[in-house]
């Protein structure tokens, strides 16, 4: 016997389950060697996906999806020490908070927020993991590796936005149909 609360919230539960699987799938793609590299640059789907999910699911679930994405990333990066889990939680929460109180959810804001958080992530990781070790040629590493990879992932943001929006739309319609009874 299914409780009444679950019956009433079935579209939300199904949608969040699909998003959970989407984050899991993106994490598996990112940590495996399935995604192609373009001129030595990597596709990193977890960061733009966290931004977009935070925008659509708002702050609480954005935080949860960000935490899950960060944990997946930290489990497969050697010296992470929880940095990614904290950062991605912050990304999901702040994007959801901005959508709730300040911004409208559209492709332009997704691109702006995704670009901002991607650049912040790559600059912070460059500062923490390259510059802090006083490596020679650290500026060259930033220009040759970090910023081009960030640009490649910024270009992919519309793909994530439209994918999440296409998943979200039927569930919103289902929720509205159940409310109108």
pLDDT band at 139; cut points 50, 70, 90: confident
pLDDT band at 177; cut points 50, 70, 90: low
| pLDDT given at position 180 | 46
Q: CA-to-CA distance for 173 and 106, rounded, in angstroms?
A: 18
Could you tell me how many residues make up the chain?
A: 181
Q: Which CATH architecture has domain 4-174?
A: Orthogonal Bundle (1.10)
Distances in Å between the alpha carbon of 108 and those of 96, 119, 162? Answer: 15, 16, 12
Q: Give residue-wise pLDDT tens across range 26-83.
A: 999 988 877 777 777 888 899 999 999 999 998 999 999 999 999 999 888 766 688 8
Q: CA-to-CA distance for 40 and 145, rounded, in angstroms?
A: 8
Average model confidence (pLDDT) across the chain: 86
Fill in the DSSP letter of residue 131. Answer: G
For the entire predicted model, the pTM comes to 0.87
Q: CA-to-CA distance for 6 and 42, rounded, in angstroms?
A: 40
Q: Which residue has the higher pLDDT, 146 or 51?
A: 51
| pLDDT given at position 78 | 66
- Phi, then psi, of 151 in degrees rounded to 5: -65, -40
pLDDT band at 181; cut points 50, 70, 90: very low
- Is there a contact between 74 and 108 (Cβ–Cβ < 8 Å)? no
| pLDDT given at position 79 | 64
| pLDDT given at position 176 | 65
The share of the chain scoring above pLDDT 70, in percent, equals 91
Question: Residue 1 pLDDT > 80, yes or no?
Answer: no
Question: Residue 98 pLDDT > 90, yes or no?
Answer: yes
């Amino acid at each position: 016997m299914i409780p009444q609360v679950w019956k009433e919230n079935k579209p939300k539960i199904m949608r969040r389950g699909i998003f959970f699987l989407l984050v899991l799938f993106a994490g598996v793609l990112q940590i495996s060697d399935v995604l192609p590299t373009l001129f030595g640059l990597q596709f990193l789907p977890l960061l733009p996906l966290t931004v977009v999910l935070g925008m659509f699911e708002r702050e609480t679930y954005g935080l949860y999806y960000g935490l899950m994405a960060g944990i997946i990333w930290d489990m497969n990066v050697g010296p992470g020490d929880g940095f990614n889990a904290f950062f991605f939680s912050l990304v999901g929460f702040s994007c959801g908070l901005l959508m709730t109180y300040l911004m409208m959810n559209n492709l332009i804001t997704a691109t702006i927020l995704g670009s901002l958080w991607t650049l912040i992530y790559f600059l912070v990781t460059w500062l923490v993991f390259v510059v802090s070790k006083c490596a020679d040629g650290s500026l060259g590493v930033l220009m040759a590796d970090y910023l081009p990879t960030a640009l490649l992932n910024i270009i992919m943001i519309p793909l994530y936005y439209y994918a999440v929006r296409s998943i979200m739309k039927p569930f919103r319609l289902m929720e509205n149909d159940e409310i109108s009874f």
